[in-house]
Amino acid sequence: MRRLKDILKKAEVEEVVIPEKSDFDIQFEEIMPTPKTVKQLYNEGLPAHLKKHVDADGNKVKGKWVKGKWVPIKGKSKDKDVTPKGYGPDESVEHEVEEESLNEDVLATLQKIAKEHQAQKVKFDNKKTMTVDAQTANAIVRAYEKLNDANKAKLPGLLNKSPEHFMKVVDLAYGGKS
């Protein structure tokens, strides 16, 4: 608004009449009321069939039907996993595999990543970890295979040191000169 008035002053227009709301705006507000939060809806009064399922903050109320009436469960309820056996992630196995792979040699982990085409974390001697994607792991493994025997003996030690040393090897694998 201010900018419009400034522009009009420069154009030497004496008075500007800017309507507060047009008829269209008023009709639009009647048709489309402003959105309300769950809390506002609750305060206004949800229908009885919904009010029993939502608390004053808009959170879902856990409960059960007893003799045709909804009875909220007090305290924290435990949700039961109904996923059929064999479907979905098995967290215990996943954590064991992750810990096992973090204890391996970095080069062995890179070979595993390249073979499985799956990004994975690698753990260095300085206790830092880094996630390595399959393309980077494949480039390092291919570069390792092309090295002579003397350099093949040095590379695993360099890879295991730290993420900084690892990144130098990545630069070399991609054709850089470090």
**β-pair type (129-132, 120-123):** antiparallel
Residue 78 covered by a domain: no
Residue 139 covered by a domain: yes
**Is the domain of 111 the same as that of 67?**
no
Residue 77 covered by a domain: no
What is the total count of domains within the chain?
Answer: 2
Residue 135: the pLDDT is: 93
Residue 178 covered by a domain: no
Residue 83 covered by a domain: no
Q: What pLDDT tens digit does each residue of the chain (178 aa) get?
A: 566 666 656 665 555 555 566 666 666 666 665 666 656 655 666 677 777 777 766 677 778 888 888 787 776 555 566 777 777 665 554 444 455 555 678 999 999 999 999 999 999 998 899 999 999 999 999 999 999 999 999 999 999 999 999 999 999 888 876 5
Q: Which of 20, 38, 72 is the last residue of a domain?
A: 72
**Is the domain of 67 the same as that of 122?**
no
Residue 81 covered by a domain: no
**Is the domain of 138 the same as that of 65?**
no
**Is the domain of 103 the same as that of 147?**
yes
**Is the domain of 95 the same as that of 166?**
yes
Which secondary structure element, helix H or strand E, spans residue 132, and what is its range? strand 129-132
Residue 17 covered by a domain: yes
Residue 103 covered by a domain: yes
**Is the domain of 96 the same as that of 22?**
no
Residue whose C-alpha is closest to residue 152's, from 95, 98, 111, 94: 111
Residue 105, C-beta contacts closer than 8 angstroms, at least 6 positions apart = 156, 160
Residue 97: the pLDDT is: 43
Domain carrying residue 66: 2-72
**Is the domain of 157 the same as that of 96?**
yes
**Is the domain of 48 the same as that of 100?**
no
Residue 79, C-beta contacts closer than 8 angstroms, at least 6 positions apart = none
What are the structure tokens assigned to 17, written together?
């009449």
Residue 112: the pLDDT is: 93
